[in-house]
Amino acid sequence: MKRRKGIHMKKVLAIILAVCAAAVLLGACGSANVDSKEEEIVFVPWNPTDKGPLVTITMKDGGVIKAELCPEKAPNTVNNFISLANSGYFEGKVFHRAVAGFMIQGGSPTGDGQSIGFPYSIKGEFVGNGFAQNDMKHSRGVLSMARTNMPDSAGCQFFIMHGDAPHLDGAYAAFGKVTSGMDVVDKIATSRVNGDSLVKPPAIQSVTVDLNGYEFSEPETIPEQQPSTSPWGSTTGKKTNQTKGQ
Protein backbone atom coordinates (compact mmCIF):
# COMPACT_ATOMS: atom_id res chain seq x y z
CA MET A 1 0.00 0.00 0.00
CA LYS A 2 2.81 2.36 0.96
CA ARG A 3 4.61 1.49 -2.26
CA ARG A 4 1.56 2.44 -4.40
CA LYS A 5 1.21 5.66 -2.49
CA GLY A 6 4.88 6.49 -3.14
CA ILE A 7 4.50 5.82 -6.85
CA HIS A 8 1.41 8.04 -6.96
CA MET A 9 3.23 10.91 -5.23
CA LYS A 10 6.12 10.65 -7.73
CA LYS A 11 3.66 10.92 -10.63
CA VAL A 12 2.02 14.00 -9.09
CA LEU A 13 5.41 15.59 -8.49
CA ALA A 14 6.44 14.91 -12.12
CA ILE A 15 3.25 16.54 -13.41
CA ILE A 16 3.80 19.61 -11.22
CA LEU A 17 7.40 19.97 -12.45
CA ALA A 18 6.26 19.66 -16.08
CA VAL A 19 3.61 22.37 -15.61
CA CYS A 20 6.17 24.70 -13.98
CA ALA A 21 8.63 24.13 -16.82
CA ALA A 22 5.95 24.94 -19.40
CA ALA A 23 5.01 28.11 -17.52
CA VAL A 24 8.63 29.27 -17.48
CA LEU A 25 8.95 28.59 -21.23
CA LEU A 26 5.76 30.46 -22.06
CA GLY A 27 6.87 33.35 -19.88
CA ALA A 28 10.16 33.55 -21.74
CA CYS A 29 8.35 33.55 -25.08
CA GLY A 30 6.07 36.32 -23.86
CA SER A 31 9.05 38.44 -22.82
CA ALA A 32 10.68 37.94 -26.20
CA ASN A 33 7.54 39.22 -27.95
CA VAL A 34 7.41 42.33 -25.77
CA ASP A 35 11.05 43.16 -26.45
CA SER A 36 10.88 42.58 -30.23
CA LYS A 37 9.38 45.94 -31.16
CA GLU A 38 10.23 47.50 -34.50
CA GLU A 39 13.26 49.75 -34.26
CA GLU A 40 12.17 53.37 -34.47
CA ILE A 41 13.75 55.33 -37.33
CA VAL A 42 15.72 58.36 -36.22
CA PHE A 43 15.85 61.14 -38.80
CA VAL A 44 19.23 62.77 -39.17
CA PRO A 45 20.55 65.96 -40.80
CA TRP A 46 22.33 65.26 -44.09
CA ASN A 47 25.41 67.23 -45.01
CA PRO A 48 26.67 67.38 -48.62
CA THR A 49 29.72 65.21 -49.28
CA ASP A 50 30.81 66.50 -52.73
CA LYS A 51 30.33 62.93 -53.96
CA GLY A 52 26.77 63.16 -55.29
CA PRO A 53 25.35 64.81 -58.43
CA LEU A 54 25.76 68.60 -58.34
CA VAL A 55 22.84 70.83 -59.38
CA THR A 56 22.92 74.45 -60.51
CA ILE A 57 19.61 76.33 -60.60
CA THR A 58 20.03 79.63 -62.44
CA MET A 59 17.21 82.15 -62.08
CA LYS A 60 16.26 84.62 -64.81
CA ASP A 61 17.15 87.51 -62.49
CA GLY A 62 20.71 86.16 -62.21
CA GLY A 63 20.42 84.41 -58.85
CA VAL A 64 22.10 81.01 -58.57
CA ILE A 65 21.26 78.13 -56.21
CA LYS A 66 23.64 75.18 -56.07
CA ALA A 67 22.81 71.86 -54.44
CA GLU A 68 24.06 68.31 -54.08
CA LEU A 69 21.70 65.37 -54.60
CA CYS A 70 21.67 62.30 -52.37
CA PRO A 71 20.98 59.11 -54.37
CA GLU A 72 21.77 56.83 -51.42
CA LYS A 73 18.69 58.20 -49.64
CA ALA A 74 16.26 58.52 -52.59
CA PRO A 75 17.72 57.00 -55.78
CA ASN A 76 14.69 57.10 -58.05
CA THR A 77 13.75 60.60 -56.89
CA VAL A 78 17.27 61.78 -57.76
CA ASN A 79 17.09 60.10 -61.17
CA ASN A 80 13.74 61.78 -61.82
CA PHE A 81 15.09 65.24 -60.99
CA ILE A 82 18.16 64.70 -63.18
CA SER A 83 15.97 63.46 -66.05
CA LEU A 84 13.75 66.57 -65.84
CA ALA A 85 16.79 68.85 -65.71
CA ASN A 86 18.46 67.13 -68.68
CA SER A 87 15.27 67.43 -70.74
CA GLY A 88 15.06 71.18 -70.14
CA TYR A 89 11.74 70.77 -68.32
CA PHE A 90 12.50 73.36 -65.64
CA GLU A 91 13.39 76.15 -68.10
CA GLY A 92 10.83 78.92 -67.70
CA LYS A 93 9.11 77.28 -64.73
CA VAL A 94 8.59 79.42 -61.64
CA PHE A 95 8.65 79.24 -57.87
CA HIS A 96 4.96 79.90 -57.35
CA ARG A 97 4.63 79.34 -53.61
CA ALA A 98 6.56 80.68 -50.61
CA VAL A 99 6.09 80.54 -46.85
CA ALA A 100 8.79 82.43 -44.97
CA GLY A 101 10.48 80.21 -42.42
CA PHE A 102 9.05 77.12 -44.11
CA MET A 103 9.78 76.57 -47.82
CA ILE A 104 9.61 77.71 -51.45
CA GLN A 105 7.96 75.48 -54.06
CA GLY A 106 8.30 75.32 -57.84
CA GLY A 107 8.21 73.16 -60.95
CA SER A 108 4.48 73.27 -61.65
CA PRO A 109 3.75 72.87 -65.38
CA THR A 110 1.02 75.51 -65.14
CA GLY A 111 2.87 77.88 -62.83
CA ASP A 112 0.14 77.90 -60.18
CA GLY A 113 0.79 74.65 -58.31
CA GLN A 114 -1.23 72.32 -60.49
CA SER A 115 0.39 69.23 -62.00
CA ILE A 116 -2.48 68.44 -64.36
CA GLY A 117 -1.11 67.35 -67.71
CA PHE A 118 2.21 66.12 -66.38
CA PRO A 119 2.37 62.58 -67.79
CA TYR A 120 3.61 60.48 -64.87
CA SER A 121 4.30 60.13 -61.17
CA ILE A 122 7.02 58.36 -59.17
CA LYS A 123 6.84 56.23 -56.07
CA GLY A 124 7.26 58.26 -52.89
CA GLU A 125 10.63 57.38 -51.38
CA PHE A 126 9.89 58.26 -47.76
CA VAL A 127 9.49 56.27 -44.54
CA GLY A 128 5.73 56.72 -44.31
CA ASN A 129 5.42 55.03 -47.70
CA GLY A 130 7.53 52.01 -46.72
CA PHE A 131 10.89 53.40 -47.91
CA ALA A 132 12.93 53.08 -44.72
CA GLN A 133 16.35 54.11 -46.06
CA ASN A 134 15.38 57.77 -46.45
CA ASP A 135 16.08 59.10 -42.96
CA MET A 136 16.91 62.63 -44.11
CA LYS A 137 15.57 65.46 -41.97
CA HIS A 138 13.70 68.35 -43.56
CA SER A 139 16.14 70.98 -42.32
CA ARG A 140 16.99 74.35 -43.84
CA GLY A 141 18.28 74.02 -47.42
CA VAL A 142 16.96 70.50 -48.05
CA LEU A 143 15.32 69.70 -51.42
CA SER A 144 12.22 67.52 -51.32
CA MET A 145 9.38 66.45 -53.62
CA ALA A 146 5.93 68.01 -53.41
CA ARG A 147 2.89 65.76 -53.81
CA THR A 148 -0.86 65.53 -53.19
CA ASN A 149 -2.30 63.53 -50.30
CA MET A 150 -1.57 60.41 -52.37
CA PRO A 151 1.88 59.02 -51.46
CA ASP A 152 2.91 58.14 -55.02
CA SER A 153 1.79 61.38 -56.70
CA ALA A 154 5.09 63.33 -56.89
CA GLY A 155 6.39 64.02 -60.37
CA CYS A 156 7.73 67.46 -61.28
CA GLN A 157 7.22 69.81 -58.35
CA PHE A 158 9.85 70.22 -55.67
CA PHE A 159 10.46 72.48 -52.71
CA ILE A 160 13.46 73.91 -50.89
CA MET A 161 13.32 74.26 -47.13
CA HIS A 162 13.65 77.84 -45.87
CA GLY A 163 13.54 76.65 -42.26
CA ASP A 164 13.41 73.36 -40.38
CA ALA A 165 10.16 71.36 -40.59
CA PRO A 166 10.39 68.12 -38.58
CA HIS A 167 6.70 67.40 -39.19
CA LEU A 168 7.63 66.64 -42.84
CA ASP A 169 10.26 64.04 -41.87
CA GLY A 170 9.23 60.63 -43.17
CA ALA A 171 6.23 62.09 -45.01
CA TYR A 172 7.94 63.58 -48.08
CA ALA A 173 10.89 62.43 -50.20
CA ALA A 174 13.90 64.57 -49.32
CA PHE A 175 16.64 64.08 -51.91
CA GLY A 176 19.33 66.77 -51.67
CA LYS A 177 20.56 69.95 -50.03
CA VAL A 178 21.61 73.46 -51.05
CA THR A 179 25.37 74.02 -50.91
CA SER A 180 25.35 77.70 -51.90
CA GLY A 181 22.76 80.30 -52.79
CA MET A 182 20.61 80.24 -49.67
CA ASP A 183 20.55 84.04 -50.02
CA VAL A 184 18.51 83.47 -53.20
CA VAL A 185 16.15 81.14 -51.32
CA ASP A 186 15.85 83.74 -48.54
CA LYS A 187 14.95 86.43 -51.08
CA ILE A 188 12.24 84.29 -52.70
CA ALA A 189 10.85 83.10 -49.35
CA THR A 190 10.43 86.64 -48.07
CA SER A 191 9.02 88.14 -51.27
CA ARG A 192 5.49 89.56 -51.39
CA VAL A 193 2.75 86.94 -51.36
CA ASN A 194 -1.00 86.70 -51.63
CA GLY A 195 -1.75 83.98 -49.11
CA ASP A 196 1.22 81.79 -49.95
CA SER A 197 1.20 82.51 -53.71
CA LEU A 198 4.06 84.71 -54.82
CA VAL A 199 2.75 87.94 -56.34
CA LYS A 200 5.65 88.01 -58.81
CA PRO A 201 6.80 84.38 -59.18
CA PRO A 202 10.52 84.29 -60.05
CA ALA A 203 11.32 82.23 -63.13
CA ILE A 204 13.99 79.59 -63.59
CA GLN A 205 16.31 80.10 -66.54
CA SER A 206 17.97 76.68 -66.38
CA VAL A 207 18.72 73.68 -64.20
CA THR A 208 21.92 71.81 -65.02
CA VAL A 209 23.44 68.72 -63.39
CA ASP A 210 27.05 67.63 -63.09
CA LEU A 211 26.78 63.88 -62.48
CA ASN A 212 30.11 63.96 -60.59
CA GLY A 213 30.72 60.27 -61.30
CA TYR A 214 27.17 59.17 -60.51
CA GLU A 215 25.75 56.47 -62.80
CA PHE A 216 22.45 57.99 -63.87
CA SER A 217 19.57 55.94 -65.24
CA GLU A 218 16.10 57.05 -66.30
CA PRO A 219 13.58 56.96 -63.42
CA GLU A 220 10.98 54.29 -62.86
CA THR A 221 7.58 55.89 -63.34
CA ILE A 222 3.96 55.01 -62.67
CA PRO A 223 0.76 56.26 -64.34
CA GLU A 224 -0.27 59.78 -63.41
CA GLN A 225 -2.10 59.81 -60.07
CA GLN A 226 -5.52 61.40 -59.66
CA PRO A 227 -4.98 65.20 -59.53
CA SER A 228 -5.76 66.97 -56.29
CA THR A 229 -8.85 69.16 -56.18
CA SER A 230 -6.84 71.68 -54.16
CA PRO A 231 -5.88 74.93 -55.95
CA TRP A 232 -2.29 73.98 -55.14
CA GLY A 233 -2.22 70.58 -56.84
CA SER A 234 0.95 69.10 -55.42
CA THR A 235 1.65 70.38 -51.96
CA THR A 236 3.90 70.23 -48.96
CA GLY A 237 1.02 70.81 -46.60
CA LYS A 238 0.86 73.77 -44.26
CA LYS A 239 3.45 74.81 -41.71
CA THR A 240 1.43 73.07 -39.03
CA ASN A 241 1.37 69.29 -38.61
CA GLN A 242 -1.10 68.87 -41.48
CA THR A 243 1.49 67.18 -43.67
CA LYS A 244 -1.05 65.90 -46.18
CA GLY A 245 -3.67 68.60 -45.83
CA GLN A 246 -4.10 71.63 -48.02
Q: What are 109-164's pLDDT values in tens digits?
A: 999 998 888 999 999 999 999 999 999 999 999 999 999 999 999 999 999 999 99
Could you tell me the pTM of the whole model?
Answer: 0.79
Residues 130 and 27 in one domain: no
Q: Which CATH number does the domain housing residue 76 bear?
A: 2.40.100.10
Task: Tell me if 176 is assigned to some domain.
Answer: yes
Query: Where does the chain show beta strands of DSSP type E?
Result: 54-59, 64-69, 95-99, 103-106, 120-121, 142-145, 158-161, 174-180, 193-194, 197-198, 204-210, 222-223
User: pLDDT tens across 61-73, in order?
Assistant: 999 999 999 999 9
Contacts of 181 (CB under 8 A, 6+ apart): 57, 63, 64, 65, 66
User: Is residue 164 domain-shared with residue 195, that is, in the same domain?
Assistant: yes
Q: Count the domains in the chain.
A: 2
Does 49 fall in a domain? Answer: no
Q: Is residue 239 part of a domain?
A: no
Residues 26, 143, single domain; the answer is: no
Same structural domain for residues 168 and 84? yes
pLDDT digits (tens, 9 = 90+) for 19-59: 444 443 333 333 334 333 345 789 999 889 889 999 999 99
Domain with 121, as residue range(s), is 54-223
